[in-house]
Chains A and B, each alone.
Chain A
Amino acid sequence: MTGTSTAPTGIDRDMLASIVSADIPAESFVNLGIGLPTRVSNFLAPDRGVVLHTENGMLGMGPEAHGDDVDPDLVNAGKVPVTELAGASYFHHADSFAMMRGGHLDICVLGAYQVSARGDLANWHTGRPDDIPAVGGAMDLAIGARQTFVMMSLLTRDGTSKLVAECDYPLTGLGCVSRVYTDLAVFLIEPEGVVVRELFGLGFVDLAAMVDVPLVDGTGR
């Protein structure tokens, strides 16, 4: 579906990251995906005790390292040098993914190319024949955490909704996404269907016209 002529601007990435961070309960164990989700960490106040997991083998990851704090032995999943917080722990890759797959992480926040109305996720491969495929931990993360949140812009550059009836990009996981945070609205994937929790600068009818998926208006709940 193409965009409307009066395209709403919605909220910016920092505002979106702050909204996601506010939905992460205190003392949760959380994995933030590479890219946009990493921004959520900027809004997690230390006194809330949220513990960050990085799948290359660490709990208690601190902020990005700069200057003298850079240590080649201490990187995050994006291979960016990071720091360790008091109470951090290290473990090997099989343990790291066992704690993920075993449902011990509370929340994982990921980016996406597309999310379907059933919560199917496509975020690892464009499917273009000239792209070298790379999956990393995307498939493990998608199905491992107790809840998987997606952060993305709702529309592609040409105005097509990335919340779709069926993903046409290669799938990362089936029925794994529980919430979709976008610049225009927050969607909850629930048994009754896709519920719109919040709208950013547009009305429900305008949103429903952009997205080719039946929506339930939950903004008054």
Chain B
Amino acid sequence: MSRVRVVDDAVEAVADTPDGAVVLIGGFGSAGQPVELIEALIESGATGLTVVSNNAGNGDHGLAALIREGRVRKMICSFPRQSDSWCFDEKYRAGEIELELVPQGNLAERIRAAGAGIGAFFTPTGYGTPLAEGKETRHIDGRGYVLEYPLAGDLALVSAHRCDGLGNLVYRKTARNFGPIMAAAATTTVVQVREVVPVGAIDPEHVVTPGLYVDRVVPVARTLAPAGGPR
């Protein structure tokens, strides 16, 4: 018996998200972005959200739509400025969204630390730069470091390639990006997958995210590639 629930309806899977929640959203640009779960989150009506994601949305769908609908109070990310990030640009310039800019590796390590029970860590990244202003620093063996704190979520939305009935996840290529660390860093982790396979069908050596990090799984039929399909 598994604690993981397979939920066919994406809206049902995120329906209990409270206003003001901290939501970790996987993806690097469009690769690995859990678009269907984000759209379900929009439908759920939750607002005043703090979103942690590498980027601040592309085009008009997924994370960009969540921002456009005014649901995001604060964005914590490394790279909000892209040629197609007009939804974020507009809210930011209107003063309607707060931005916490974090170097990409520090963002990843803060999320990892949250899932790994680390209280804080000293990192050399950002030392001596404007992004370290006001933060505690220390010299260790002659090198400057900045103290950074964990970044935990109330909810993580992740996209994976395949899972089994126990929530064991396999990702595909660079769409893995933030999935494994976000799955571990949230109170509730919801994963959209292209395929659910029977328990035992995934070689244990190939499991990237063990099912103990996963709470709900939503099967989503997605077109994988313009041509070809899974390789």
Residues 28-63 of chain B, each 1 if its beta carbon lies under 8 Å from chain A, else 0: 111110000000000000000000001000000000
Known: A101-B124, A173-B129, A174-B144. A96 touches B31 (CB 8 A): no
Interface pick from A2-10, A64-72, A212-220: A64-72
Q: A106 — which chain B residues lie within 8 A by C-beta?
A: none
Q: A71 — which chain B residues lie within 8 A by C-beta?
A: 173, 224-225, 228, 231
Interface pick from B5-13, B14-22, B178-186, B197-205: B178-186
Cβ 8 A contact of A56, one of B126, B127, B129, B177: B177
A48 at the interface (CB under 8 A from B): no
Q: A135 — which chain B residues lie within 8 A by C-beta?
A: 78-79, 101-104, 131
- B31, B32, B92, B101: which has the most chain A beta carbons within 10 Å? B31
Known: A140-B103, A140-B104. A132 touches B78 (CB 8 A): no
B176 in contact with A134 (CB, 8 Å): no
Q: B81 — which chain A residues lie within 8 A by C-beta?
A: 131-134
A101 in contact with B79 (CB, 8 Å): no
B207 at the interface (CB under 8 A from A): no
A104 at the interface (CB under 8 A from B): no
Near A by CB (< 8 A), chain B positions 75-101 give 78-82, 88-89, 92-93, 99, 101
Known: A68-B228, A71-B228, A93-B178. A134 touches B108 (CB 8 A): no
In the complex, the chain B residue whose C-beta lies closest to that of A71 is B225
Interface pick from A11-19, A84-92, A192-200: A84-92
B109 at the interface (CB under 8 A from A): yes
A143 at the interface (CB under 8 A from B): yes
Q: How far is the CA of A98 from the CA of B123 in the complex (A)?
A: 10
Interface pick from A21-29, A37-45, A73-81, A201-209: A73-81
A114 at the interface (CB under 8 A from B): no
B80 in contact with A90 (CB, 8 Å): no
Q: How far is the CA of A79 from the CA of B175 in the complex (A)?
A: 11
Count chain A residues whose beta carbon lies closer than 8 angstroms to a beta carbon of B.
Answer: 44
A1 at the interface (CB under 8 A from B): no
Please give the distance in Å from A152's CB to the nearest CB on chain B: 19
Near B by CB (< 8 A), chain A positions 110-167 give 125, 131-140, 143-144
Q: How far is the CA of A91 from the CA of B208 in the complex (A)?
A: 9
- B105, B208, B231: which has the most chain A beta carbons within 10 Å? B105
Cβ 8 A contact of A68, one of B103, B108, B173, B227: B227
Q: How far is the CA of A68 from the CA of B107 in the complex (A)?
A: 34
B112 at the interface (CB under 8 A from A): yes
A210 at the interface (CB under 8 A from B): no
A72 in contact with B30 (CB, 8 Å): yes
A92 in contact with B180 (CB, 8 Å): yes
Q: How far is the CA of A134 from the CA of B102 in the complex (A)?
A: 9
B189 at the interface (CB under 8 A from A): no
B168 at the interface (CB under 8 A from A): no
Please give the distance in Å from B142's CB to the nearest CB on chain A: 12
Known: A79-B30, A101-B125, A139-B126. A94 touches B104 (CB 8 A): no
Please give the distance in Å from A74's CB to the nearest CB on chain B: 4
A182 at the interface (CB under 8 A from B): no
| A contact residues vs B (CB 8 Å cutoff) | 54-58, 67-68, 70-76, 79, 84, 90-94, 96-98, 100-101, 125, 131-140, 143-144, 170-174
16 contacts between A and B (CB under 8 A): A54-B174, A56-B31, A71-B231, A73-B31, A73-B224, A74-B173, A90-B176, A92-B208, A94-B112, A100-B105, A133-B99, A139-B131, A170-B130, A171-B130, A174-B128, A174-B129
